[in-house]
Amino acid sequence: MERWRRSTGMRIPPDMQYTRKELPSLSTEELEKLQLARPANFAEAGAISGLTSHGLVYLYHHVSKRMKWRDAQRSEASRNPVEQELLIDEIGRC
């Protein structure tokens, strides 16, 4: 929770999918509110009424993992030009 508090300015990707498949631990109400509000960062997400602290922490971990995965993919692709083209296609689908 403390890490999340320090990261309230962290951006949430604009293409984030607020679905049960992507975020199975969130309630239907939380998913609907996030989908409607489409917060740009965690400060905005924290201001959404009805979003629990558990939901915020879960969302934070999901976004953090997604960003680490993208960074790793980009780093790996930068070593190989063919993989770089494949990565561009893959990131476009995320």
Query: What is the pLDDT, as a whole number, of residue 88?
Result: 59
- What CATH number should be reported for the domain holding residue 52? 1.10.150.570
Confidence of residue 83 (pLDDT cuts 50, 70, 90): low
Nearest of 14, 25, 35, 94 to residue 59 by alpha carbon = 25
Query: What is the pLDDT, as a whole number, of residue 8?
Result: 79
Query: What is the pLDDT, as a whole number, of residue 78?
Result: 61
- Neighbour count for residue 10 (Cβ, 10 Å): 16
pLDDT tens, 17-76? 999 999 999 999 999 999 999 999 999 999 999 999 999 989 999 998 887 766 566 666
Only one residue has tokens 């990261």, namely 7
Amino acid found at 79: R
The boundaries of the domain holding residue 16 are: 2-93
Count how many domains the chain has: 1
